[in-house]
């Protein structure tokens, strides 16, 4: 198998998400023999918006937050991607995430381009009122660039259904009409899709099922460790648990829990809702939050944030399958180490595409004004995820590349084809 050969990187370069995205893009584009002009066009985002958002805080003072919205591509449809709130949001991170959205939508073959947004803030230290005012002002600042046919935001880290409701309402107030299709991941009573909340976790469970089949392994005795117990991690854990996987470890930013016989996930979800943390869960033992990632398991699922598997810990991993629930959890250097170890990687742009796929269903339902049952949504999602898994794996086999490069190549090929067909407007 061909792997991505990289020049020596500094730690800062290794963990820069934009550099990681760009080097994988370059490698895949070269393998595809991509036309130089299209290469340049697809390598960089189409539009980058930076806004400074004044917000009146609860104590009467005014704080100014910096926000971004980056649209990487609109070649295959409206730009699509989440909005995250975190203290360490950066333009390079949002750029990378926007590009990944383009490739992700193309991997699962849905008619969207890619975008991402972020606001530098610490939501843990903000009240609901402050978050609402910041969200509404951020929406107003980017309002000319979003819309059901332009760019459709969704939740990401530290944003949720409530955030989407505020964005939808602010946009609708400006337009003078209720426009539900401007965002996805909304509450079900205001145009959200059934199954959206669990969709990313559900998609992860489908690709895990497919990977086991592909590798001749079985669910029985399949041990799973997850990092992150938020939307993606907790739903993935819960669905895998219901399917009969044995979840032996969960790690969060403030601690980890471990039980070699399997963790009762519904009980852990209840405990976290009550205690506000996974720590102190009686039916498991505490563990070190970083070391636990290197314990023996069949499937490791990073579902928290970027740069978790790096050149510093990749060699220590003892999983057979790495299923990337988070975006960009593995660095380029770590990829090479994992390839040498024979770890089967299900890359982020495939593994966590269940969220955007059901967002696509939500957008379709909003535009029709007709809503599907949860089982209809789930069935359609399962079909797309398992077909996409097979597409990526067979593309990799045919082109003698690993799963990640196969996913990039498949996606770039699709976006380049449409871009060429549309032509360059000058
Ligand atoms: P979230 O905010 O709901 O959950 C993230 C969880 O990870 C939180 O519980 C947080 O405490 C924990 N966490 C943060 N840093 C950590 C660390 N260093 N170690 C352990 N735990 C840590 O966010 P989410 O929506 O679940 O997103 C998680 C990841 O999945 C992100 O990379 C996001 O871009 C990606 N993703 C999300 C969706 C979606 O539908 N929500 C879809 C595709 C990809």
Crossing angle of helices 354-368 and 374-399, rounded to 10°: 130
Q: What is the Å distance from ligand 1's center to 386 Cα? A: 23
Grade residue 4 by pLDDT with cuts at 50, 70 and 90. low
Q: What is the pTM of this model?
A: 0.96
Nearest C-alpha to atom 42 of ligand 1 is from which residue? 355
Residue whose structure tokens are 């917000």: 55
Active site residues: 116
Residue whose CB lies within 8 A of the most ligand 1 atoms, among 17, 21, 89, 156, for a mutation test:
156
Q: Does 4 or 241 have the greater pLDDT score?
A: 241
Q: What is the Å distance from ligand 1's center to 302 Cα? A: 9
State the average pLDDT over residues 160-180.
98
Q: Are 387 and 334 in contact (CB under 8 A)?
A: no
Atom of ligand 1 nearest to the CA of 325: 30
On average, the pLDDT of the chain sits at 96
Q: What is the Å distance from ligand 1's center to 224 Cα? A: 17
Cα gap 156→418, rounded to integer Å: 28
Predicted pLDDT of residue 426:
80
Q: Does 425 or 315 have the greater pLDDT score?
A: 315
Distances (CA, A) of 315 to 6, 252, 334: 17, 22, 8
Atom of ligand 1 nearest to the CA of 304: 7
Is pLDDT above 60 for 5? no
Predicted pLDDT of residue 11:
76
pLDDT digit string, tens, across residues 148-158: 999 999 999 99
Q: What are the strands, taking DSSP E only, across 90-199? A: 114-120, 151-155
Cα gap 384→300, rounded to integer Å: 23
Q: Are 285 and 258 in contact (CB under 8 A)?
A: yes
Is pLDDT above 60 for 396? yes
Q: What is the Å distance from ligand 1's center to 359 Cα? A: 17
Q: Which domains does the chain have, with CATH numbers?
A: 49-190 (3.40.50.10860), 199-351 (3.40.50.720)
Residue whose CB lies within 8 A of the most ligand 1 atoms, among 232, 301, 307, for a mutation test:
232
pLDDT digit string, tens, across residues 85-112: 999 999 999 999 999 999 999 999 999 9
State the average pLDDT over residues 165-184.
98
| Helix (H), strand (E) at residue 56 | strand 47-56
Predicted pLDDT of residue 373:
98
Residue whose CB lies within 8 A of the most ligand 1 atoms, among 290, 305, 348, 349, for a mutation test:
305
Grade residue 12 by pLDDT with cuts at 50, 70 and 90. confident
Nearest C-alpha to atom 37 of ligand 1 is from which residue? 156
Residue whose structure tokens are 């593309």: 395
Residue whose CB lies within 8 A of the most ligand 1 atoms, among 200, 228, 229, for a mutation test:
228
Atom of ligand 1 nearest to the CA of 251: 20
Q: Is 398 exposed, middle or buried (0-12, 13-18, 19+ CB in 10 A)?
A: exposed
pLDDT digit string, tens, across residues 300-338: 999 999 999 999 999 999 999 999 999 999 999 999 999
239's tokens? 């669905």
DSSP 67-90: EEEEEEE-SSSSEEEEEEEETT--
Residues with CB under 6 A from ligand 1: 155-158, 200, 227-233, 251-253, 303-305, 325-327, 352, 355
Q: What is the Å distance from ligand 1's center to 369 Cα? A: 31
State the average pLDDT over residues 108-129.
98
pLDDT digit string, tens, across residues 34-56: 999 999 999 999 999 999 999 99
Atom of ligand 1 nearest to the CA of 159: 2
Crossing angle of helices 265-275 and 231-243, rounded to 10°: 150
Percent of the chain with pLDDT over 70: 98
Nearest C-alpha to atom 18 of ligand 1 is from which residue? 253
Q: What is the Å distance from ligand 1's center to 84 Cα? A: 10
Contacts of 180 (CB under 8 A, 6+ apart): 168, 186, 190, 191, 366
Q: Is 33 exposed, middle or buried (0-12, 13-18, 19+ CB in 10 A)?
A: exposed
Is pLDDT above 50 for 1? no
Q: Which of 377, 328, 322 is nearest to 354 (CA)?
A: 377
* Angle at 166 (CA atoms; ends 160, 169), nearest 5 degrees: 140
Atom of ligand 1 nearest to the CA of 196: 40
Q: What is the Å distance from ligand 1's center to 304 Cα? A: 4
């Amino acid at each position: 198998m061909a792997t991505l050969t990289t020049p020596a990187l500094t730690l800062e370069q290794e963990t820069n998400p934009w550099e990681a995205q760009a080097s994988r893009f370059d490698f895949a584009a070269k393998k595809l023999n991509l036309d130089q002009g299209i290469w340049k066009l697809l390598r960089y985002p189409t539009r980058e918006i930076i806004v400074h958002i004044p917000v009146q805080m609860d104590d009467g003072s005014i704080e100014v937050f910096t926000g971004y919205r980056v649209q990487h591509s609109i070649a295959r449809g409206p730009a699509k991607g989440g909005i995250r709130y975190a203290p360490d949001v950066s333009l390079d991170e949002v750029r990378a995430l926007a590009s990944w959205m383009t490739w992700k939508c193309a991997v699962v073959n849905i008619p969207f381009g890619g975008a991402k947004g972020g606001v530098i803030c610490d939501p843990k230290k903000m009240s609901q009122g402050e978050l609402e005012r910041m969200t509404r002002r951020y929406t107003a600042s980017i309002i000319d660039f979003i819309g059901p046919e332009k760019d459709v935001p969704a939740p990401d880290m530290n944003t949720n259904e409530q955030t989407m409701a505020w964005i939808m309402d602010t946009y609708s107030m400006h337009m003078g009409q209720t426009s539900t299709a401007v965002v996805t991941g909304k509450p079900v009573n205001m145009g959200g899709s059934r199954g959206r909340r669990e969709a990313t976790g559900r998609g992860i469970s489908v690709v895990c099922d497919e990977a086991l089949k592909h590798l001749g392994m079985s669910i029985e005795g399949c041990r799973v460790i997850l990092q992150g117990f938020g939307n993606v991690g907790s739903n993935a854990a819960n669905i895998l648990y219901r399917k009969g996987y044995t979840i032996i470890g969960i790690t969060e930013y403030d601690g980890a829990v471990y039980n070699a016989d399997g963790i009762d996930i519904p009980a852990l979800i209840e405990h976290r809702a009550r205690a506000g943390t996974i720590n102190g869960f009686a039916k498991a033992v505490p563990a070190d939050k970083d070391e636990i990632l290197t314990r023996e398991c069949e499937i490791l699922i990073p579902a928290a944030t970027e740069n978790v598997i790096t050149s510093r810990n990749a060699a220590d991993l003892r999983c057979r399958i790495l299923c990337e629930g988070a975006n960009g959890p593995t660095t380029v250097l770590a990829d090479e180490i994992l390839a040498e170890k024979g770890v089967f990687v299900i890359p982020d742009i495939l593994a966590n595409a269940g969220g955007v796929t059901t967002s696509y269903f939500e957008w379709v339902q909003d535009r029709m004004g007709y809503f599907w049952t949860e089982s209809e949504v789930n069935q359609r999602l399962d079909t797309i995820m398992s077909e996409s898994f097979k597409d990526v794996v067979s593309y990799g086999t045919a082109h003698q590349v690993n799963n990640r490069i196969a996913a990039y190549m498949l996606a770039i090929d699709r976006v380049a084809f449409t871009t060429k067909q549309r032509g360059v407007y000058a």
